[in-house]
Amino acid sequence: MSGIKTYNDIYLETRKALKAAGIEAYDLEARLMLSAAAGKSREEFYRDIKFYAMGETEARVREFTARRIAGEPIAYVLGEWEFMGLPMEVAAGVLIPRPETETLAELALRLLRGRHTAGARVLDLCCGTGCIGISVAAKVADAKIVLADNSMKALRVARKNVRRNNVAGNTIVIDADVLKSPPMMLGRFDMIISNPPYIPTKEIKTLDSSVRDFEPREALDGGPDGLDFYRAIIPRWTDILKDDGVILFECGEGQADEIGLLLRDSGFTAAYHEDAFGVRRIVAGLKENKQP
């Protein structure tokens, strides 16, 4: 039995290796990797911490550890990440959900609930994993959600996340390029939500290596000033927004004023919302009712 290790033995070894590699959240990541390798929930991990582990579990943790130390983001190593309390599958080639994006999802939920719009139609543009639209679908049962992206990898992941979170009844996934006009027969929406690429091209090289070297550039690069996608979406996609509908954008630091100006030039009323760090992260555009 001397060669067999307990879950705690493996956890301590992994924790030590991650710490030595300079990984800041070494304790949390060691627990996450061991839980994923063993197929255990957080509660099961703590319950079984003193039990002996299968050799396959130790081998898998070693593989995870090597990948993480090489710089691969923990979400890609695990193959999943949590967003708004929901599990989201992630995969190489698809942007990892960010905590700041929860500000966008929370605002969408608050507005939908405040408007009391039964059966509201919501479009999530540049959906990636589908995390924003799926969180709305899971928490507003009568909403009708459309997830749109033109990345085949993202669409595959989004479809898996729709099934995983049991929202197939009110959510569909479509292939659509936001740089072009909306597909015919898409219909009109009460709300459009978008977290498009917004990093200025010249800043890509300054990003942390775990982002720059592993996450898809096409999901990050927003053009010379980071605003290419906003300039495309606002004139092309807001025609399918109902009167008194709202469009919500996530944006980078320092970009909100310019996006607000783009919205106002298109007849919208613009408002701004800060994230947990006081950054104006969300720009909301209200489409004025054109009826006399």
Number of H helices, E strands in the chain: 11, 9
User: 201-233 b/e with 16+ CB inside 10 Å = b?
Assistant: beeeeeeeebebebbbeebbbbbeebbbbbbbb
- How many other β-carbons are positioned within 10 Å of the β-carbon of residue 289? 10
pLDDT in tens, 112-156: 988 766 789 999 999 999 999 999 999 998 999 999 999 999 999
Domain-wise residue ranges, the chain: 7-70, 84-287
pLDDT in tens, 215-270: 999 999 999 999 999 999 999 999 999 999 999 999 999 999 999 999 999 999 99
- Mean pLDDT score across all residues of the chain: 94
pLDDT at residue 105 tops 60: yes
Residue 177 CB-density burial (10 A; 0-12 exposed, 13-18 middle, 19+ buried): middle
CA 10 to chain centre: 31
Q: What is the pTM of this model?
A: 0.91
Are 112 and 284 in contact by the 8 Å Cβ rule? The answer is no
What CATH number labels 84-287? 3.40.50.150
Q: Which two tokens stand for residue 242?
A: 């109902």
Q: Which two tokens stand for residue 41?
A: 């929930």
